[in-house]
A and B are shown apart, each in its own frame.
Chain A
Amino acid sequence: MSSKKRYEGWLMLDHTASPGIPEDTARRMGLNPREVCEGKRMEAATIACGHCPGVFIKNPDRVRERGYCRLCDHYVCDPCHAAMHAPNYVHRTRWALLDAALNAATHGRSFDSSQPSKAVSIIVP
């Protein structure tokens, strides 16, 4: 069974040969002070959102549900997760976004990322 871990990127903040980041500063940066202090190497997973071109750092201590899309079997960032619950939401993956951008480039058209990659069909009975 494949794991979502195969999608994860890798972030390293290495202070093994450095005085590190002071505790108060690290907290203000949203980092764990024990991982970025003198002599420590922080390694964290990063996750690419399944619906937008962004990447975010995975918080292993997160208790609330992580945004997930069953349609594309991929984690999504919080803003995209919130957008998924909008009544007029049109599902589009980051790969569809990329395809649309490359398609536009191939045909010499400008690309508008705010537009859905294909027209929405409304069937009236």
Chain B
Amino acid sequence: MARRLFSVPSFTPTATADNSALANATYLAIGANSATQGLWVAEIFIQGLGTSSTNVNNNVFARDLVLGATPTALAAPNRDGPMAGSMDVAPGTLPLTFTAATTGPSRSNTTTTAQLVLSVNALGGVARWKPADMTEAWWIIGQTVSVSESSLSASSAAGTTSAAQSATIMYEPM
């Protein structure tokens, strides 16, 4: 398999509490498309696009306690495609990447699940995370709640108000 880029050029990650369904177009969710699929996240890149210095996006990349129900297929300008372009053969089953669903995913509120804090001031802030290599990466395996599907969204824990940002998740399906 080859690496793929899931990117959303502009969205506003409205601050949402843990264990609450995320509203459409406020998150990037990525998950396995079957119980036997695995993928790993190779990089997360976020850039603030806000116009006010008062907006802080309390971004967190975390597991989902409730998986997104009936995800909506991505629509332009959002994208998910191979980095190698036409040279790459897509896997038989692509992982799920979505920003909208009939019922959005709910971020896990379990204290024993990991979450990456990627908070930035939306006015010019930049966040970037890279693991050392694939063995040290953020793994998504199967479709188990609080273990598998993960989402990039904003937490309301710090009482912040979000503004627009762009985000890219580089990942590789297995």
A residues sitting closer than 8 Å to B (CB atoms) are 6-15, 17-22, 25-26, 28-31, 36, 46-49, 52-57, 77, 79, 94-95, 97-98, 101-102, 104-105, 108-114
Contacts and interface: CB of A to CB of B under 8 A. Distances in A.
Contact of A15 (B113, B120, B137): B120
Interface string B105-142: 00000011110111111011111111110011111111
Contacts of A46: 116, 129, 131
A55 B138 contact: yes
Interface of B: 35-38, 48, 53, 56, 58, 63, 111-114, 116-121, 123-132, 135-142, 144, 147, 157-160, 174
A77 B114 contact: yes
A26 to B, nearest CB: 8
Contact of B138 (A54, A77, A97, A101): A54
B64 to A, nearest CB: 13
A53 B139 contact: yes
A116 B129 CA distance: 30
